[in-house]
Amino acid sequence: MWQRDAVLGGTPSIGPVRSFGGGGGIGADIPRLSKAYGILNYTMYAVNPRNFFTLRNEWWRDAQGMRTGFTTNYSSHTIGWTHQFSDSIAIRPEVGYYHSYDDKAFDLGRASHLWMGGLDVILRF
């Protein structure tokens, strides 16, 4: 992925900076071409026709900080489960570990890793 004349992180919200990461406006200009690239792998195991587990491993590099505001390498490792209640309704909980290698990129620059849990409800129509 690349972008010409990007900005260093930031947020579209121009209000005051908040402890949870909002506000402050866009970051400083990055002249010329900015690059981010990575590798992603999904491995899925079917338990039965309505249940399966997913393992996701990812590595990516934000070479100039245009995507995240931090110039560093990242990796993530996630496990999730999908259950289909019917052909039109499914849930998908997951838990993942995220790590930044060269800089503290999480918790407003105070941590180099984080654990995250998530849940999707999928409605097909």
What the block records as the tokens of 7 is 């900005």
Question: Is residue 91 assigned to a domain?
Answer: yes
Question: Is residue 63 assigned to a domain?
Answer: yes
pTM score, two decimals? 0.74
Q: Measured between alpha carbons, how far is 94 from 57 in angstroms, rounded to an integer?
A: 13
Question: Is residue 93 assigned to a domain?
Answer: yes
Query: What pLDDT shows up at residue 77?
Result: 98
List residues bridging with 106 in a β-sheet.
Answer: 111
Question: Is residue 109 assigned to a domain?
Answer: yes
Query: What pLDDT shows up at residue 32?
Result: 74
- Cα distances (Å, whole numbers) of residue 100 to 22, 61, 68, 73: 20, 10, 11, 6
pLDDT by position in tens, the chain (length 125): 667 666 666 666 667 777 766 666 777 777 777 778 899 999 999 999 999 999 999 999 988 777 777 889 999 999 999 999 999 999 999 999 999 999 999 988 899 999 999 999 999 99
Question: Is residue 83 assigned to a domain?
Answer: yes
**Structurally, how many domains does the chain consist of?**
1
- Domain of residue 100: give its range: 36-123
Query: What pLDDT shows up at residue 70?
Result: 84
